Amino acid sequence: MALENLISISFTEEELTQLDSHLLGIRQILTGKTVNLTPDQRRQYGRIANQNKLIVDKAKNYMEQHPDWIPRFVDKSEFDRDYTARQQVENRVQLLESLSTQLVDTKTLLDHDNYNNALSFYRMLRFLAGENEPGAKSVYEDMKVLFSKSSPVLAQEENDIEQ
């Protein structure tokens, strides 16, 4: 019985070169403009929730209407730059998160296909080693150590065969 192949894709060298070039371009544009927070800093600053975005939007709107009400210690120009940059970043984050999810999901299916095919190969190797196929036993023994802890099903199959 053939295994179900969940996904089949390939990239040309030209596509990979273009993809890498575009990713490098993104990295270069972001250099010096983005930060990496520590986990503690992420907890400290948190993320602005939708309700708080509405507060920021409303405050900005009222600041525009009533500039004389803005406290002297608030730098309105900096507020406006931060506000604009935040919108610009958010739009790109949403696109990048979508692309990242697509790549991760695609990789998940590719990993699934590869792992199941590797298991089929290993099971065939085990059979061939049992049939004394020349060279099969050493390859089987080499691979066997990889399955003893990582795959409870295969480890149990191994125990059943050895008993």
Element spanning 75, H or E: none
Q: Is residue 156 predicted with pLDDT exceeding 80?
A: no
Q: Residues near 154 by Cβ (< 8 Å), separated by ≥ 6?
A: 119, 122, 147
Q: Strand runs (DSSP E) across the chain, as ranges?
A: none
Given this model, what pLDDT does residue 150 score?
Answer: 61
Assessment of whether the complete model's pTM goes beyond 0.85: no
Given this model, what pLDDT does residue 155 score?
Answer: 62
Percent helix, strand, coil in the chain, to 5, is 75, 0, 25
Summarised one tens digit per residue, pLDDT across range 14-29 is 999 999 999 999 999 9
Average pLDDT value over all residues in the chain: 92
SS3 call for 132: coil
pLDDT band at 163 (very low <50, low <70, confident <90, very high): very low
Summarised one tens digit per residue, pLDDT across range 104-148 is 999 999 999 999 999 999 999 999 999 999 999 999 999 999 987
